[in-house]
């Protein structure tokens, strides 16, 4: 089983739609969780950290489910500019400096 | 603005001709990472440094070497590039390690002819 798994998609949605991605992780000792956004041929950029209590930033909501070992990202009222790849990243544990990346979920928002 | 800078942004090299990619940071972060990313794949970690402590991933080919002469700079040397080494090379930093946000440079896209 891969350490961090994501559905690669693509998720093809119309403008204004609500879309959700999940990401599962295998290491139950993981302590930190992130969603990064990566545009085509660009570097990943932090979208949001994921806190135990869940967190929201405008149209974006991230949640953590420790019992089932997954994190989710919900995007409301999708915009064309949301089209990108969304990378799930699980922070290291046990003193390691190495975060683990999922392969990313591709989102295409169309008019 | 504080940032992670990579040079060059695009690098074309010939099969077998050594190439060096550079990364600098003004964030004064302890940890620096080098990733290789191919199309539609997750970034693959090649090396990381905590300060001057070098850590090589087990599956990083010997063809790849790295240097970190000081806190600000880190270099990736590819001694004999093959066609399979064509990829985006991303440098990233974090304050102390993998539990924290990483800051990525814009990447260097390597083409091997």
Of residues A32, A43, A98, nearest to B104 (C-beta): A43
The residue of chain A with its CA nearest to that of B53 is A97
Quick one: A74 exposed, middle or buried, by C-beta within 10 A (0-12, 13-18, 19+)?
middle
Contacts of B55 in chain A (CB under 8 A): 97
Q: Are A50 and A63 in contact (CB under 8 A)?
A: yes
User: Mean of the per-residue pLDDT values for chain B?
Assistant: 93
The residue of chain A with its CA nearest to that of B45 is A98
Query: What is the structure's pLDDT at A53?
Result: 85
Per cent of chain B over pLDDT 90 is: 81
A6-47 pLDDT per residue, tens: 999 999 999 999 999 999 999 888 888 999 999 998 999 999
A41: alpha, beta or left, given left = phi > 0 and alpha = psi -120 to 50? Answer: left
The CA distance from A50 to B44, in Å, is 22
Distances (CA, A) of B99 to A7, A59, A99, B10, B79: 23, 25, 7, 30, 32
Q: Are A93 and A69 in contact (CB under 8 A)?
A: no
Interface contact flag, A92 B101, Cβ < 8 Å:
no
B25-57 pLDDT per residue, tens: 999 999 999 999 999 899 999 999 999 889 888
Average pLDDT over residues B51-80: 93
CA distance B85 to chain A (A): 16
* A35 CB neighbour count, 10 Å cutoff: 23
- Cβ contacts of A3 within 8 Å, gap of 6 or more: A25, A26, A27, A90, A100
Interface contact flag, A99 B41, Cβ < 8 Å:
no
Nearest to A97 by CA among B98, B111, B12, B69: B98
| Beta strands B4-7 and A4-6, pairing class | unpaired
Task: Report whether pLDDT(A93) > 80.
Answer: no
Residue A101: pLDDT band with limits 50, 70, 90: very high
Residue A97: pLDDT band with limits 50, 70, 90: low
Query: What is the structure's pLDDT at A105?
Result: 96
The two structure tokens encoding residue B79: 């001694």
Interface contact flag, A89 B102, Cβ < 8 Å:
yes
CA distance A60 to chain B (A): 18
Does the beta carbon of B86 lie under 8 angstroms from any beta carbon of chain A?
Answer: no
The CA distance from B105 to B29, in Å, is 13
Task: Report whether pLDDT(A95) > 80.
Answer: no
Q: Is B1 helix (H, G, I), strand (E, B) or coil?
A: coil
């Amino acid at each position: 089983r891969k350490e961090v798994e994501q559905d690669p998609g693509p998720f093809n949605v119309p403008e204004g739609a609500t879309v959700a991605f999940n990401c599962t992780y295998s290491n139950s000792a993981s302590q930190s969780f992130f969603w990064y956004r990566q545009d085509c041929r660009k570097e990943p950029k932090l979208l949001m950290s994921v806190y135990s209590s869940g967190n929201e930033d405008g149209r974006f909501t991230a949640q953590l489910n420790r019992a089932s070992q997954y994190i989710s990202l919900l995007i409301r009222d999708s915009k064309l500019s949301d089209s990108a790849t969304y990378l799930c990243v699980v922070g290291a544990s046990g003193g390691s400096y190495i975060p683990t990346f999922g392969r990313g979920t591709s989102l295409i928002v169309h008019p | 603005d504080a940032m992670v800078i990579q040079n060059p942004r695009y690098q074309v090299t010939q099969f077998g001709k050594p190439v060096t990619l550079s990364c600098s940071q003004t964030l004064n972060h302890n940890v620096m990472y080098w990733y290789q990313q191919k199309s539609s794949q997750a970034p693959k970690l090649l090396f990381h440094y905590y300060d001057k402590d070098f850590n090589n991933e087990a599956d990083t080919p010997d063809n790849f070497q790295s240097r970190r002469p000081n806190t600000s700079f880190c270099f990736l040397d590819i001694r004999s590039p093959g066609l399979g080494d064509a990829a985006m090379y991303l440098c990233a930093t974090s304050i102390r390690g993998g539990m924290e946000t990483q800051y990525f440079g814009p990447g260097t896209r390597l083409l091997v002819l």
